[in-house]
Amino acid sequence: MAEEIVGRGWGFPPHIGPQGGIALTHEHNEIDQAIHIILSTSPGERVMRPSFGCRLHDLVFAPNNSHTAARARRYVEEALGMWEPRISLLQVEVHQDSDQANRLIVEIQYEIKATHDRRSLVYPFYLIPEE
């Protein structure tokens, strides 16, 4: 039942699978890959769906501070709320990476609506450091 709701498609990024064909997603990673696609696509990047994506990339030249982290959180919540109807967002936290000064860590906790399966995902977002 969950497989019908979650779906199946090409893996992201597209690559060759172990048997020589196009690698496909499966029910355990399809939603994670969909979230990565949403967060890594800038609005306007897809010609046939210009509003698809996340405004996170508007912040690439922003300073790595709490204001930027708050904007990143809002952008992630807006994008996933709009483009991933199969999940309920439970929590989105964005904080500066203590190991790399130019990286934000986006921690997403969500629940798959159809199965009530709770999952989490970490998405690193890189900023261009000031010179």
Q: Give the pLDDT confidence of 2-45 residue by residue, as tens digits.
A: 444 445 565 556 657 677 777 666 566 788 989 999 999 999 99
Q: Go through the domains of the chain in sequence order and give each one's CATH number.
A: 2-126 (3.10.450.40)
Mean pLDDT lowest among 17-21, 57-61, 111-115:
17-21
Q: What is the rounded CA–CA span in Å between residue 13 and residue 24?
A: 10
Q: What is the rounded CA–CA span in Å between residue 27 and residue 8?
A: 7
Position 1 confidence tier, pLDDT thresholds 50, 70, 90: very low
Structure confidence at residue 91 (pLDDT): 98
Residue among 63, 100, 8 nearest 124 (CA): 100
Q: What angle do CA 65, 53, 6 make, to 5 degrees?
A: 115
**Phi first, then psi: what are they for 92, rounded to 5°?**
-130, 120
Average pLDDT over every residue of 36-64: 95
